[in-house]
Amino acid sequence: MKKRQALVVGINDYLFQHELRTPANDANAVAQKLMELGFEVTGLPSASTQEAWRVHQEKELLTHELEGAITKLFALNANVSIPETALLFFAGHGLRKEIGNFSKGFLATSRVDRKESWGFPLKELREILEKSPVKQQIVILDCCYAGELLNFDEADPGDGETISRCFIAACREFEPAYEPTTGEHSILTEALLQGLQQEGFISNITICQWIETALKTRNQTPICRKWGEIVLRDPGLELPEDPPDDCPCPYKGLEAFQEEDAKYFFGREKLTQTLVNRLRDSQLLAVLGISGSGKSSVVRAGLIPNLKQGKTLSESKTWKICAPFTPGDDPLASLAQVLVNEKLCTSEQATQELAKGAKGLHRLISPANAPCVFVVDQFEQVFTPSQDPAKRKQFFDCLLGATDSDSLRDKGGWGRSATSPLRVIITMRADFLGKCAEYPQLAKLIETHQAIVTEMKEAELREAIGKPAKKVNWNIPPDLENLMVADVQKSPGSLPLLQDILKQLWHRRSQRLTVQTYQDMGGVQKALQNRANKVYYQTLSSEQQAIARSIFLKLTQLLENSKPIARQVRKSELTDLPYPPEEVETVLEKLEAARLIVTSELEARGNPEEKIIVVDVAHESLISNWKQLERWVKENFDAKRQEEDIQKKTRDWADKGKRREGLLRGLDLAEVELFEREHSQTFPLSPLAREFVRKSIRQRRNSRLLGIGAVVTVFSVVTGLWLNAQRQATIANLRANAAQAQHLLSTPQPLEGLVLAIQATGESQGQLRRVMSSAQSSLLTGIQTTREQNRLRGHQGGVNAVAISPDGETIVSGSWDDTLRLWNRQGEQLAVLRGHQSSVTAVAISPDGETIVSGSGDNTLRLWNRQGEQLAVLRGHQDWVTAVAISPDGETIVSGSWDDTLRLWNRQGEQLAVLRG
């Protein structure tokens, strides 16, 4: 075992301060526990040269003695061996010296007098810790006002990249620490000793959890801060060395397992056998399951390797198994690309023969001289509204019809036939079976030849978690495995989320895996959302956030049942967004580095030398589990629908040779023009679609078609009158807004006036194609009138919410850095409010200005007083709290959450009601 050293200090005897009863006892008891954990312990003031750990009950300890011992402990003396872990325990008086607007903290030694001598300064302790080469540092202070001593601006040396630290203080800066009138130990030491004597695994994290729980109802609040994990006892076997840095990750994150990942794919052996047996006697296999059940992975990493190796079906070794493909925007073109890539035909041959349907496909696969297997992944993509129904049916007839030899004799219908040289495997979300009903033969075929991917049983989940880790000599603690299994079982369709958090934990493998680490990341359900939010809010500028929003909206598509699914797009379609290309590239790189999107390179059809880069959402689960993306899709539902409709009409026009009769006319063209004006930034049209619209507008301008002159004339007159009336109404409305803006600018509400002036200017430009003079005048006045009064700096992340007290003197802000901050009207920071374990998303102040309520991504509300002291934690929501408000009488609090509920609370933090609707 590597060397561990501890210094325990317990001072009962003070010359100018009142004497204490328990510190020496506290130090001796802690020393004995630490020795049981393998520490070499030195006690001060020393009671015996034979027992260096023992602390004397009545001896004095001077400041220079304490300073020397601390310096030696943390290995700053020359020729001192460096321990792996150094622990300082101090029990005694703590002092605070006020110096103007500042204060300094001290560990009081025996002769402090609050005049000439104050003891050992915390500033020096910080400097020692900063310079110390010891990699694991623990400081436990059991003294009055320990929170002041643990002022992190003064005592915390920071989170070094290679240093693990733990600080434990007996109480907050405004509280005294207590020693009971009876008993042997102080309140903090009693809890610490109980934590140290627990059975099983012990670390700084478990100790902090124990202390916080034990003192939760006591009249002093401990402070525990930890960076990294320091293991104090591990009863298990010696763990193997961590896998090397270049060892491949055995988990796939949000991506599906591929054929080359088969060695890491566990838990689906039984299902794989079932799929092979179902394919033995059938030309079609439809693998169905809910989103996130692992359909793609079991086919790609389970079924395909089994078939190629002939593990279950010996003759399958001779089959030609083509690379899986997704239908995309043009399923027939995607099928043709597979045939070309497999070198079964040329691009021209594929186009010609597939146009002939099932017979043509059979001719294309005949050179293989063996049964061919096509794998269509994410089959539900064929049901997107942008698909041409005729082309969709042609794809069905071609691929699925070719599995039936009867169809080759023109007898119609699809069914089972052992004579067909083609087998087809499809994966599809089970909720799309209803769409198949529109094609009765397809529905009957899938119903007859389906296999359902059900949720993994507990034993299968344990294999999926544990066996890949064993492959790379990595250990996952049993308690963490148990928790992950339980979390997945509570959340159907969460296998991608499980893989995602396992991959994140893998990247932290240099640290020990613990339940606390897992929970801090958000667990199975929230780790992905937390990571996506962190990337979006903390690494992207405001312009880059707009770019990311457009990218993700491009990467989703809507189906006729309104459920969004993932969509693959060419990278060039994203770089065509109306933003600087270099900024788009930067955002794509950041999203890919965070594993929220994936890019891949494909060969252009018929030209292997030409490569195209495509972009995908890392997994469809991101669409349903990232609340921000889900909100974007909902907010832009109608515009997204319209954009997809325009793109479909564009493809139809191009497929028919870009003929004039295929161009837009009348209301269709007017709607597209309106769409471009209102949504071009979020949903820019493709170059082909822009050409389509441009030529449609040109045709309208030049059209002189016979037979419609009178109708067009009458319609134009009516439309013109209507447009003129609308224009006059718009002008009147804008003039009124500009006048209101001018009025507000002369009142104590100049900011509201500026906002209204900006709105009036934008509406004038957008609706009239010019800026009215009255709107321009109000905007110029607003710019000259309003000025930034102050800039409040301090948060380490984006600010999500702000509120101002009724008297206008106090400002509270909430941030992605997990803190609230209080400011005065002059912009001076008054306090930092810590307690939330995730981003602060909402804040409110009571009408009397005395109570602050905050909501957070940690699913809690917290109540604070105006001095920044936490009063209560309100638990009940099951997801992020996004809004809070306080009633006019200050007695009722209402909160809203992403768990689709509102909750009512009283001022004491008790839940009154849950509102669902």
Label each residue of 787-842 as H, E or C.
Answer: CCCCCCCCCCCCEEEEEECCCCCEEEEEECCCCEEEEECCCCEEEEECCCCCCEEE
**Residue 181, burial from CB neighbour count under 10 angstroms (0-12, 13-18, 19+):** exposed
In whole angstroms, what is the distance from residue 490 CA to residue 546 CA? 35
- Do 648 and 385 form a contact (C-beta atoms < 8 A)? yes
Q: 107 — phi, psi (to 5°)?
A: -90, 115
Tell me which amino acid residue 413 is.
Answer: G
Q: What is the pLDDT of residue 603?
A: 64
- Do 754 and 740 form a contact (C-beta atoms < 8 A)? no
Q: What is the pLDDT of residue 682?
A: 76
Closest of 469, 511, 466 to residue 485, by C-alpha? 466
CB atoms within 10 A of CB 235: 8
| Torsion sign across C-alpha atoms 235, 237, 243, 249 | negative
| Proportion of the chain in helix, strand, coil states, percent, rounded to 5 | 45, 20, 35
pTM over 0.85: no
| Torsion sign across C-alpha atoms 769, 775, 781, 784 | negative
In whole angstroms, what is the distance from residue 746 CA to residue 820 CA? 34
- Do 866 and 849 form a contact (C-beta atoms < 8 A)? yes
Cis peptide before 45 (omega within 30 of 0): yes
Q: What is the pLDDT of residue 711?
A: 47
Q: What is the pLDDT of residue 266?
A: 96
Q: What is the pLDDT of residue 211?
A: 87
Give the chain's residues under pLDDT 70.
Answer: 1-2, 78, 99-103, 145-162, 172-183, 219-220, 234-245, 386, 404-420, 510-512, 559-563, 603-610, 703-791
H-only helix segments in 18-141: 23-36, 63-73, 122-131
In whole angstroms, what is the distance from residue 643 CA to residue 638 CA? 9
In whole angstroms, what is the distance from residue 284 CA to residue 826 CA? 73
Q: 466 — phi, psi (to 5°)?
A: -85, -40
CB atoms within 10 A of CB 689: 21
Distance of CA 8 to the CA centre of its chain: 43
| Torsion sign across C-alpha atoms 492, 495, 500, 506 | positive
In whole angstroms, what is the distance from residue 168 CA to residue 212 CA? 10
What are the Cα distances from residue 288, in Å, to 297, 380, 422, 540?
12, 10, 20, 38
In whole angstroms, what is the distance from residue 130 CA to residue 723 CA? 73
Q: What is the pLDDT of residue 275?
A: 95
Per-residue pLDDT of 192-229, as tens digits, reads 998 888 877 888 888 888 888 888 777 667 788 877 77
**Residue 517, burial from CB neighbour count under 10 angstroms (0-12, 13-18, 19+):** middle
In whole angstroms, what is the distance from residue 250 CA to residue 261 CA? 8
- Do 884 and 843 form a contact (C-beta atoms < 8 A)? yes
CB atoms within 10 A of CB 286: 25
Q: What is the pairing mode between strands 120-121 and 164-169?
A: unpaired
Residue 340 CB partners (closer than 8 Å, separation 6+)? 346, 347, 350, 605, 606
Which two structure tokens, joined as six digits, stand for 359? 């017979």
Q: Which 3 state secondary structure label does DSSP give 864?
A: strand
Q: What is the pLDDT of residue 713?
A: 45
Beta-bridge mates of residue 103: 98
Q: Which 3 state secondary structure label does DSSP give 582?
A: helix
Which of left, alpha, beta for 829 (phi over 0: left; psi -120 to 50: alpha)?
beta
Q: What is the DSSP letter of 325?
A: B
In whole angstroms, what is the distance from residue 549 CA to residue 701 CA? 36
In whole angstroms, what is the distance from residue 496 CA to residue 573 CA? 27
In whole angstroms, what is the distance from residue 801 CA to residue 861 CA? 14
Q: Which 3 state secondary structure label does DSSP give 426?
A: strand
What are the Cα distances from residue 166, in Å, to 86, 88, 229, 238, 560?
11, 10, 8, 24, 55
Q: Which 3 state secondary structure label does DSSP give 757?
A: helix
